[in-house]
Amino acid sequence: VVKAFEMEIIPAERIVAQIGGTLILTCNTTGCASPSFSWRTQMDSPLGGEVSRHGTYSTLTMNPVSIVNSHSYLCTVTCDERGKKEKSVKVELYSFPSDPIIEISPSLVDGEPATVICKIPDVYPSDRLEVLLKKDEHVLHEKNFFEDESTNTETKFVTYTYHPMAEDAGKEITCVAKLPIADMDFEPKERTSSQKLNVNFGPQNTVITASPGKSPMEGDSLNLTCVTQSNPPAQIVWRKYLAEESIQHLIKNNVLFIPHVHFNDSGRYICEVINMVTAKTEEATVDIIIQGAPVITKFSIEPSTTVQEGENVSIKCSAESNPPPKIILRRKSDNADIGTYSARSILLPSVMFQNGGDYECVAENKYGNSKREITLNVKYGPKNTVITVFPAALKEGETVTIKCTSSGNPAPVISWKKKKATGESEKISENATITIQNLKSQDLGLYECEAYNQFGKEEKAVELYVPARLEGPDQMIPLIIAFSSVAAVAVPAVAILIYVSRQAKINGSYSLVKALRLKV
């Protein structure tokens, strides 16, 4: 059976194509082994596409589809002796490729005019375009382009100016674009885009809250919170007025936390809020008064806690509290010759070593009291050097102990020398006590004690000697001791102890100047 010669165009009849897309028209035949094809437009305009032959069918490919493809296309098929056939198809175009683009001023400020732009890209035909601008469900603006005479795709703009308010923050601006061509079958015919509004406003209604209150007790924690209304969030800076009317900058945070308040935390605090976008500033203040028992803020000795005898010394104490404290400054030592002071300072001109010791500052008010101690350390050279000999009455062959003591700060170093027959002194000990076992004649002589520290020295001496033996056998003359620093004591004249004292002060130190021999 021989098939009849037939042809068709796929897709048939009316075609709706999107500009920028791809459209393939297929001209197909049956009943012809070797057909020949030709494509043309009814107006003999350029095809605007590429023709390909594939045996019994031919294609016309338009990629991309453009405005020049808005025609009726005619396909003619010739089949040798069977003649020729032709059919046409109409291509109708539209362009609605993407959702609208919303452009809003990057910085919307409360009460200041702002521009909203809705951009509908590459639309065709634009004379059928309808645009709607909404804020949430409230219609702000409507526009159509019925008077356009577009011959190609165009990007259309809808511009609207309005005054945003603070309460608009978070609301949505929506642009609805419609291309309602009823006799053209394509989707979508409506496209929308939305954008949330970010309205910058403030700062406004700035307040400070103090917890637990504006008059906390000393040592309590204090929270100062600064709250404001602002978009974007305001930069917060805490400052404090100082007594001399200057301003101390604290932190950049909405909460100023003081874990343990002190009296110097009292004062006026300022919360300054700054919106860097709106360039607006607002301030709030709060007065804080710290209450509580006194706190001693300074207890000092000038020029230092360690001084040299003869320097001028000042002892000062200061405290703070609310209510103001009563301050008592006193010497703690019971036998001190400096009494109780009610003033806040003690002046000790040409300080003496007796002034050294512990001093106490007491500050008190109705909430309690505070005490602090400080020690005055007075450095001085050796004083009151004393030599003692034990036993008081000595005999040859006995054990004799000679001890040297001296006061000074720092504690003096004690050393002993013994005068030799040549007149030279020989160091015999660096201990404060000398013990002579089995006293003999060669142990007799002058013993010198030297007390030394970096502030001076003091020397004392004692001389032991035996004048003669008694004629009786096995009888020895006992040794008797006397000191220059006390009253002489009369004893049997069987021996003599010489006590030599040498003392002089040269440039803050002591040196040997004379020897006094006391005979009993």
What's the per-residue H, E or C state across 366-425?
CCEEEEEEEEEEEEEEEEEEEEEEECCEECCCCCEEEEEEEEEECCCEEEEEEECCCCCE
Asked if residue 272 and residue 307 are part of one domain, the reply reads: no
Classify residue 266 by its DSSP letter: -
Q: Which residues does residue 393 pair with via DSSP β-bridges, in sequence order?
A: 480
Whether 446 maps to a domain, the answer reads: yes
Whether 59 maps to a domain, the answer reads: yes
Structural domain of 187: 101-199
Whether 1 maps to a domain, the answer reads: no
CATH number at residue 184: 2.60.40.10
**Distance separating alpha carbons of residues 20 and 381, to the nearest angstrom:** 109
Whether 459 maps to a domain, the answer reads: yes
Whether 510 maps to a domain, the answer reads: no
What three-state secondary structure class fits 83?
A: coil
Whether 474 maps to a domain, the answer reads: no
Which of 329, 351, 379 marks a domain boundary?
Answer: 379
**Distance separating alpha carbons of residues 103 and 331, to the nearest angstrom:** 82
Asked if residue 229 and residue 193 are part of one domain, the reply reads: no
Whether 411 maps to a domain, the answer reads: yes
Which of 288, 308, 324 marks a domain boundary?
Answer: 288
3-state secondary structure 27-47: EEEECCCCCEEEEEECCCCCC
Query: 353 — phi, psi (to 5°)?
Result: -65, -25
Torsion of CA 155, 159, 164, 167, to 10 degrees: -50
Which pTM was predicted? Answer: 0.51
Distances in Å between the Cα of 319 and the Cα atoms of 184, 264, 328, 341, 361 are 93, 11, 11, 16, 9
Tokens of 475: 């009888």
Distances in Å between the Cα of 493 and the Cα atoms of 398, 463, 467, 515 are 19, 16, 10, 22
Q: What is the pLDDT along the chain (520 residues), one digit of tens a residue?
A: 568 899 999 988 789 999 999 999 999 999 888 899 999 998 888 899 999 999 999 999 999 999 999 989 999 999 987 889 999 999 999 999 999 999 998 778 998 899 999 999 999 999 999 999 999 999 999 999 998 888 899 999 999 998 999 899 889 999 999 999 988 889 999 999 999 998 999 899 999 999 999 999 988 999 999 999 999 899 999 998 886 666 777 788 899 999 999 888 899 999 999 998 888 999 999 999 999 999 898 999 999 999 999 999 999 999 888 888 999 888 887 544 444 445 678 889 999 999 999 999 999 999 999 999 999 999 999 999 999 998 877 778 889 999 999 999 999 999 999 988 788 888 999 999 999 999 888 888 899 999 999 999 999 999 876 544 444 444 433 443 433 332 222 222 222 333 333 332 222 222 222 333 322 2
Asked if residue 163 and residue 116 are part of one domain, the reply reads: yes
Length of the chain: 520
**Distance separating alpha carbons of residues 238 and 288, to the nearest angstrom:** 14
Count of the separate structural domains present in the chain: 5
**Distance separating alpha carbons of residues 470 and 288, to the nearest angstrom:** 96
Asked if residue 385 and residue 371 are part of one domain, the reply reads: no
Do 89 and 63 form a contact (C-beta atoms < 8 A)?
no
Asked if residue 208 and residue 193 are part of one domain, the reply reads: no
CA neighbor of 321 nearest in space, from 283, 366, 257, 375: 366
What three-state secondary structure class fits 3?
A: coil
Whether 505 maps to a domain, the answer reads: no
**Residue burial 496-515, b: 16+ Cβ < 10 Å; e: rest:** bbbbbbbbeeeeebbebeeb
Asked if residue 272 and residue 195 are part of one domain, the reply reads: no
Q: Which residues does residue 10 pair with via DSSP β-bridges, in sequence order?
A: 26
Kind and range of the H or E run holding 64: none
